């Protein structure tokens, strides 16, 4: 029997899987908390220069006298027909003819209606230093990128369990240390390390879940782990409403990672599929026996075949660039992973710029991920991976582009349409992003699966790293045209990526491959299926039979 048959026999979606995956996926909430916190620890705030000599100055106007002082010192400009105060300039001198000159200021007051303290306010990351606030986001995604390379390969070499535990320790400890310092460059490094820990625990967890599940239940486990990620988003939106100081927030969301790491040392099982691939048959059989016992089934007393062949020689992840059949799907997946991530995080980071309450907007953009996964849950096996992913990417692109119309042609009364466009875009891109993990896992054999997923996530977080700067495109062009540039870019790229994904093979209801030889078998099976379909069509009673030798493949 091969591994897939064994898992199916002992219960690929039994009590063991339900308990273990719930236990394993709970740590995924930590990753959702850390990524969601980005918007709140380094937010885009309204601010202006502080009035010189006015110690009690606040962004909010306190009285008529305070308003007069603000008008005396702070220049005004026009934005969509409204007068707004300049953020970085202050009047410092009045000439003899009554004209006033301006200069850049060195102190500011901030709108604290959403956050009391943040990295932005404590370190004054505004005006000329505003790019540093963007860097805190970029360093996080660069850490994710680095982790995709290192943790993916490490997980294939040292095991899923060890990498998950070490990564959780990194995530928790780096987050706590970050809350204790005030140097922006040290914060960059710690955000980098925190991201390594987050990705290093999340990706092997996705792989481990797939490898202990049967063919027909892998989709359920993939949906489950994405939902846990969304729960992290929802928790952070509620938590930040009550905890509005960034240092306390970082400590609260980092400590549980250390707790999970300690618990996993004692109770988390290694992937039996990985153990078999490493020829650790005794350890694998012990775990498989435990699975059968908990699922109230019996482990077949037969040798598990078709799992060791990839170990005949050392296999490297880079092989996916040298085998033509893998190269095609790898290039298409690279583009799709980069764009789906850029659009997903672009929409997420843009929540702070939507009209309305920040916490409510963030919560709505988070909770909409549940119907996204439920939608995919019911459609993924019916429609198939390829068609569903392509459709979701195109719909996400259309939703992004639709957001330009209330900006170009709408008034204040139509601003809700921009928020609605963001929510629908988040729904479609979330579903596409979530099922990219499962689709990618099914497109690669076991011997390079984790490394391949890590490589694809590398490109995903290249896209994620670009997302903050994509939103900055609006600063290059003034007015409404500048504001729609990020939406046009994200929408167009999403549609292109979706159409490209139609060139990938379908993996619905097919066994996961263990080695490179299975690629040939898979290709032969697909060819045979096409041939049978054509022959069936040619022998249809309403259609004359075409000679078989004329059928081309």
| pLDDT tens per residue across span 192-229 | 999 999 888 887 887 888 788 876 676 677 677 778 88
Contact 254, 175 (CB under 8 A): yes
pLDDT at 144 over 90: no
Residue 269 has pLDDT above 90, yes or no: no
Spatial CB neighbours of 548, under 8 Å, sequence gap ≥ 6: 535
* pLDDT > 90? residue 252: yes
Q: Indicate if 365 and 496 belong to the same structural domain.
A: yes
pLDDT at 529: 43
Band (259; pLDDT cuts 50, 70, 90)? very high
Over residues 399-452, the pLDDT tens digits come to: 988 888 777 776 666 777 878 888 898 889 988 887 887 788 788 876 777 677
If asked whether residues 29 and 160 sit together in one domain, one would say yes
Same-domain status, 183 and 138: yes
Q: Are 341 and 467 in contact (CB under 8 A)?
A: yes
- Is residue 188 within 8 Å of residue 133, measured between CB atoms? no
Q: Average pLDDT of the chain?
A: 80
Residues 117 and 24 in one domain: yes
Cβ atoms within 10 Å of 78's Cβ, excluding its own? 8
Percent of the chain beyond pLDDT 70?
Answer: 82
CA–CA dist 539, 200 (Å, integer): 54
Instruction: Based on the fold, state whether residues 200 and 121 are members of the same structural domain.
Output: yes
Instruction: Please name which of 58, 511, 42, 541 lies closest in space to residue 307, comparing C-alpha atoms.
Output: 511
Q: Is 82 left (phi over 0), alpha (psi -120 to 50) or beta?
A: beta
Instruction: Provide the residue range defining the domain that includes 176.
Output: 1-46+113-312
Indicate if the alpha-carbon torsion angle 255, 256, 257, 260 is positive or negative: positive
17 and 92 together in one domain: no
Residues 106 and 118 in one domain: no
- Whether residue 123 is found in the same domain as residue 230: yes
Question: Is 536 within a domain?
Answer: no
Looking at residue 94, its pLDDT comes to 60
Residue with the bigger pLDDT between 534 and 516: it is 516
CA gap 27, 279 in Å, rounded? 29
Which tokens sit at 75?
Answer: 């220049």
| Residue 508 burial (10 A CB sphere; 0-12, 13-18, 19+) | middle
Q: Cα–chain-centroid distance for residue 90? A: 41
Query: Would you say residue 115 has pLDDT above 70?
Result: yes
Reported pTM: 0.74
User: DSSP string of 391-440?
Assistant: HHHHHHHHHHHHTHHHHHH--GGGHHHHHHHHHHHHHHHHHHHHHHHHHH
Domain count, the chain: 3
Same domain, 102 and 124: no
Q: By mean pLDDT, which of 31-35, 166-170, 328-332, 376-380 is the weakest? A: 376-380
Domain assignment present for residue 66? The answer is no
Q: Does residue 60 belong to any structural domain of this protein?
A: no
Are 308 and 330 members of one domain? no
At 478, the pLDDT band (50, 70, 90 cuts) reads low
Given 312, 333, 362, the domain boundary residue is 312
Q: What are phi and psi of 91, to 5 degrees?
A: -70, 135
Residues 303 and 158 in one domain: yes
pLDDT tens readout for residues 504-517:
888 776 666 666 66
Residue 548 has phi, psi (to 5 degrees) of -60, -30
CATH of the domain at 379: 1.20.1250.20
Confidence of residue 31 (pLDDT cuts 50, 70, 90): confident
Tokens of residue 433, six digits? 């992003």
The answer to whether 373 touches 226, Cβ cutoff 8 Å, is: yes
If you average pLDDT over each of 118-122, 130-134, 378-382, which comes out highest? 118-122
């Amino acid at each position: 029997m091969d591994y897939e048959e064994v898992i199916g026999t002992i219960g690929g979606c039994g009590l063991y899987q339900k308990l273990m995956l719930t236990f394993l996926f709970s740590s995924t909430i930590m990753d959702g908390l850390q990524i969601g916190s980005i918007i709140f620890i380094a937010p885009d705030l309204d601010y202006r220069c502080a009035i010189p000599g006015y110690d009690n100055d606040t962004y909010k106007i306190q009285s008529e006298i305070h308003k007069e002082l603000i008008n005396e010192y702070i220049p005004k400009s026009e934005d969509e027909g409204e007068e707004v105060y300049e953020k970085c300039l202050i009047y410092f001198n009045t000439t003899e003819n009554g004209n006033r000159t301006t200069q850049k200021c060195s102190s500011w007051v901030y709108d604290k209606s959403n956050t009391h303290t943040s990295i932005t306010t404590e370190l004054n990351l505004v005006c000329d230093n505003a790019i540093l606030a963007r860097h805190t986001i970029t360093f996080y995604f660069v850490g994710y990128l680095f982790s995709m390379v290192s943790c993916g390969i490490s997980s294939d070499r040292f095991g899923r369990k060890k990498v998950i535990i070490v990564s959780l320790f990194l995530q928790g400890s780096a987050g706590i240390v970050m809350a204790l310092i005030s140097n922006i460059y040290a914060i960059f490094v710690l955000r980098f390390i925190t991201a390594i820990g987050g990705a290093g625990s999340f990706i092997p967890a996705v792989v481990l879940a797939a490898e202990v599940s049967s063919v027909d239940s892998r989709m359920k486990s993939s949906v489950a782990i994405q939902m846990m990620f969304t729960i992290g988003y929802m928790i952070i939106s509620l938590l930040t409403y009550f905890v509005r100081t960034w240092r306390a927030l970082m400590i609260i969301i980092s400590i549980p990672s250390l707790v999970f790491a300690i618990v996993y040392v004692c109770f988390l099982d290694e992937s039996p599929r990985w153990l078999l691939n490493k020829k650790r048959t005794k350890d694998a059989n012990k775990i498989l026996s435990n699975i059968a016992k908990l699922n109230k089934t019996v482990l077949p007393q037969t040798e598990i075949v078709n799992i060791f062949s990839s170990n005949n020689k050392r296999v490297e992840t880079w092989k996916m660039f040298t085998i033509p059949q893998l190269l095609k799907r790898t290039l298409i997946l690279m583009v799709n992973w980069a764009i789906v991530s850029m659009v997903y995080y672009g929409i997420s980071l843009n929540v702070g710029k939507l009209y309305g309450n920040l916490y409510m907007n963030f919560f709505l953009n988070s909770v909409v991920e549940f119907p996204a996964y439920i939608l995919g849950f019911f459609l993924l096996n019916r429609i198939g991976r390829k068609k569903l992913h392509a459709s979701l990417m195109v719909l996400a692109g259309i939703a992004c582009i639709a957001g330009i119309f209330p900006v170009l042609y709408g008034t204040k009364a139509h601003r809700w349409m921009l928020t609605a466009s963001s929510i629908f875009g988040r729904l479609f891109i979330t579903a596409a992003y979530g099922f990219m993990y499962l689709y990618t896992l099914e497109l690669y054999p076991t011997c390079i699966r984790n490394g391949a997923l890590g490589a694809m996530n590398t490109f995903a977080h290249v896209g994620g790293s670009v997302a903050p700067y994509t939103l900055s495109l609006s600063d290059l062009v003034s007015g409404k045209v500048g504001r729609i540039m990020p939406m046009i870019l994200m929408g167009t790229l999403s549609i292109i990526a979706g159409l490209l994904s139609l060139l990938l093979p379908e993996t619905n209801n097919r066994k996961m491959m263990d080695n490179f030889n299975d690629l040939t078998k898979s290709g032969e099976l697909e060819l045979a299926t096409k041939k049978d379909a054509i022959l069936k069509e040619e022998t249809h009673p309403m259609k004359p039979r075409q000679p078989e030798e004329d059928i081309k493949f």
